[in-house]
Amino acid sequence: MSFRQPRFDAVRIVACLISLLPFLAGGQACPARANDGRAPEPWNAASPPGPRAAHEVQPEGIVVGWGFNDEGQIGDATKVDRNTMVKASGLGKVIALSAGSRFSVALKADGTVWTWGYDYTGQLGDGRSDPRPQPQIVGGLSDVVSIAAGSSHVLALKRDGTVWAWGFGQSGQLGHGFTGDPAFNKLEDTLYGFGRPVQVFGLHNIVAVSAGAFHSLALDGFGAVWAWGSNSHGELSETPGERVAFPSRIRGLGTVTAISAGYWHNLALTADGSVWGWGCNYSGQLGASPDPMSVARAPVPIPRLEHIISIAAGRAHNLAIDQDGLVWTWGLNEFGMLANGTAPEAVNPRPEPVMGLNGIVSVAAGYSHSVALASDGTVWSWGSNEYDSLGNGADVPPGRMRRVLAGLSGDYGPDSMAEIPRSATPGPVVGASRIRAISASSSGWHTLALVVSP
């Protein structure tokens, strides 16, 4: 039997060890800078304000969820899919939440982070690799002000502007200098990733984070965007390499005020209210005609969008809110998740307003469903209802994954895609009231919501 000789790269080893020092020494900041070559220039004082700090005062509440629950990602101590919202066990004073693929993350007012659900690649952050259907605290992490869950990794932004990450790291999405090759990276404590928080290499003055399927984004106080991880579909823009374990600055953007990482693409909202995208455009998610080989390696403006105040990137579709509270959608409409008059099963790279929705203050894009939060605290959903993703109380047949796990065919019938329950019209989530935040994953089928006291 032969063994592959591990590859040794002195630069990567030293970088990773440096990034681990804060964790080993109790959280002191890492002095190194990201591999950009120069610091971003401050915006002009006469221009619109830059991104808001993540640690602004936020309302406290409890977490509820609905949809797919095969690994306990809803947090109700069961593994039963939920077609109406249920409360996550043992969590109070929560100020932020983020849905991963089959796991969930919550941030409490005291700066601690709590996780639950699937854990094979260490995404729950406690050094173990077994799923847990109830929230548990992530040890060794405090003073956190913002969180973001990807397909199987997590980002946490601390009050001092540093970013910490854990979970799956094969594509470099943890930003600690390694791409997670098990034969080379002996510092891992799970097979494919870090099961405990480590500091992202060289990031400072960060005010927002967002996690894609296998890549990560960060927004700094100067309005500049940084990216790392998988670059297979141009997720890191013009940064060379297919897997990059160090943050690099995204060029070609103005002052950015918000970011959203989709599955293989990204969106950025700039201070003038316009939206830019880069990465995969297979389904027209960048606002251009779709093509099986279409990838944008530099940010491009999304047409028709003006005065936008919020954005959300999903697997292959996007949502945006304008200053009048109207929702615009574009990209893949496989299960009606655009709800803007686009024909079912079609793609529409041209943003169109969602019919029948007004007064929307927040949106979330899942793998194949969409969610919107209204100013009155109600929640609306549309798209695929496989795994009860819409939370509308409808009785639906078990999803394809559930059928496979039960030893049945993964198909519903001769045309399995046509049989998947769906809605191309926004409908209310049953029981939703006093909601202040929502989250859905670009690689998942469950939704989380934050309920505040009257």
Whole-number mean pLDDT of the chain? 85
Is there a domain that residue 277 lies in?
no
What is the domain count for the chain? 1
Confidence (pLDDT) at 50:
54
Least confident of 8-12, 62-66, 202-206: 8-12
The answer to whether 200 and 217 have CB atoms below 8 angstroms apart is: no
Pair of tokens at residue 281: 């455009």
- Averaged pLDDT for residues 132-147: 95
Measured distance CA(243)–CA(433) in Å, rounded = 42
Is there a domain that residue 37 lies in?
no
More confident residue, 374 or 346: 374
Confidence (pLDDT) at 215:
98
More confident residue, 188 or 112: 112
Is there a domain that residue 216 lies in?
yes
| 363-395 tens-digit pLDDT | 999 999 999 999 999 999 999 999 999 999 998
Is there a domain that residue 314 lies in?
no
More confident residue, 179 or 183: 179
Confidence (pLDDT) at 254:
95
- Averaged pLDDT for residues 347-363: 96
Measured distance CA(41)–CA(60) in Å, rounded = 35
Confidence (pLDDT) at 56:
63
What CATH number is given to the structural domain containing 241? 2.130.10.30
Is there a domain that residue 220 lies in?
yes
Is there a domain that residue 282 lies in?
no
In 3D space, the residue among 420, 429, 414 whose CA is nearest the CA of residue 399 turns out to be 420
Measured distance CA(116)–CA(114) in Å, rounded = 7
Decide: helix, strand or coil at residue 21: helix
More confident residue, 39 or 120: 120
Cβ atoms < 10 Å from Cβ of 186: 9
Give the predicted TM-score (pTM) of the model.
0.86
Is there a domain that residue 285 lies in?
no
Which range in 20-34, 296-310, 399-413 is most confidently predicted, on average pLDDT?
296-310
Pair of tokens at residue 362: 């927040």
Least confident of 10-24, 75-89, 387-401: 10-24
Residue 263 φ/ψ region, left for φ over 0, alpha for ψ in the -120 to 50 degree band, beta for the rest: alpha
| 214-250 tens-digit pLDDT | 999 999 999 999 999 999 999 999 999 899 999 999 9
Spell out the residues 6+ positions from residue 109 whose beta carbon is closer than 8 angstroms to its own: 60, 93, 94, 95
Is there a domain that residue 308 lies in?
no
For 85, the domain range is 54-251+359-452
Confidence band of 19 (pLDDT split at 50, 70, 90): very low
C-alpha distances (whole Å) from 161 to each of 83, 157, 216 are 38, 7, 16
Residues above pLDDT 70, as percent of the chain: 80
More confident residue, 14 or 255: 255
